[in-house]
Amino acid sequence: MSNIHPSSCISPKAHVASDAEIGPFCVVEAEAVIGEGTVIESHAVVRFGTRMGRENYLAEGVVLGGLPQHKQQSAQSGQLIIGDRNTFRENVTVHRGLGKDDRTEIGDDNLLMVNAHVAHDCLLGNHTIIANNVMLAGHVTVGNSAYLSGAVGVHQFCRVGAFTMVGGQARITKDVPPYVTVDGDSNLIVGLNLVGLRRGGFDRAQIQELKAIYRVAFRSGLSWDDVIESLRKQFPTSLGQDMADFMEATKRGCVQERRVPKQATIRLHLPESKSADEKQQKRASA
């Protein structure tokens, strides 16, 4: 235990690996589990119910396993389960599950930057990047290799698909399908996340297929059920089925594309000036 600074408060009921390093003025509560090779910098707090794997890094001021911010918070809240090789930069906060049997889960090889917040019962996959000041509300799911830029806010129960890129300051109130880019200004989809796909090892043939999938999903002008049916029929591979499965499972609806397809029968975004002109014309004709 020589790797633990004497000013830190470590519960005798905590399970700390012998090679873990804990800096000054840290707190590790009872039943917390800290795996091999983990480094915890000064003033970090690891609370009751937090279990983390190997080689995680906690920068200054990180709080893991905090109580959920919820009016119905149980006296016996759940757990926070963390995998291996995650980086939590300064002042990141992650809350544990709301109920006794609930849990917040973070996979492997994730990077959470300064001041990011992950609320109760969130599920983060592997290799995600959660940038500065991102706010994930309760029950949010983030897929593998997703990238959330600075100051993104995600509404509770929303899902962010794998290999997505969400632009800075976006407000996500619906599900973000996999493989796409969301513009931070309009909060709408503006194309595939080509940079993330290439970095993720997708080859040219896979990217071409995803482009075809994207056209059916967002530019065909088909109804919701017809889109899902077309995806399943035209793209029997895992990529097409992944998109269809994600869209079919949505409960909040999916983020739409910024460009409205010409075939669409319903105008989704009507400019205010044009709307006023049409209303005036209707009054005149009446």
Per-residue pLDDT tens for 263-282?
Answer: 554 444 444 554 555 555 55
CATH 2.160.10.10 at 9-139, yes or no: yes
Token pair recorded at residue 264: 């669409």
Q: Where are the domains of the chain?
A: 9-139, 204-269
User: How far is it between the farthest Cα atoms of the chain?
Assistant: 86
Q: Which residues are catalytic?
A: 120-121, 138
Residues 169-194: what's their mean pLDDT? 97
Amino acid 59 reads A
Spatial CB neighbours of 149, under 8 Å, sequence gap ≥ 6: 131, 134, 165, 166, 167, 168, 169, 170, 184
Q: In 82-237, which ranges are continuous DSSP H helix?
A: 194-199, 204-219, 224-234
141 pLDDT above the threshold of 70: yes
Q: Of 76, 124, 125, 66, nearest to 96 (Cα)?
A: 66
Q: What's the pLDDT tens digit per position in 183-205?
A: 999 999 999 999 999 999 999 99
Quote the pLDDT of residue 72.
80
Residues 238-256: what's their mean pLDDT? 96
3-state secondary structure of 134: coil
Token pair recorded at residue 268: 């989704």
DSSP symbols for 222-258: --HHHHHHHHHHH--SHHHHHHHHHHHT-SS-BPPBS
What mean pLDDT, rounded, does the chain reach? Answer: 92
1 pLDDT above the threshold of 90: no
Quote the pLDDT of residue 283.
55
172 neighbors 189 (Cβ within 8 angstroms): no
Fold of the CATH domain 204-269: Udp N-acetylglucosamine O-acyltransferase; Domain 2 (1.20.1180)
**What's the pLDDT band for 73 if we cut at 50, 70, 90?**
confident
| Cβ atoms within 10 Å, residue 169 | 14
> What are the b/e assignments for 68-78, b being 16+ CB within 10 Å?
beeeeeeeebb
214 neighbors 180 (Cβ within 8 angstroms): yes
- Burial class of 52 by CB neighbour count within 10 A (0 to 12, 13 to 18, 19+): buried
Q: Of 165, 173, 135, nearest to 255 (Cα)?
A: 173
pTM of the model: 0.88
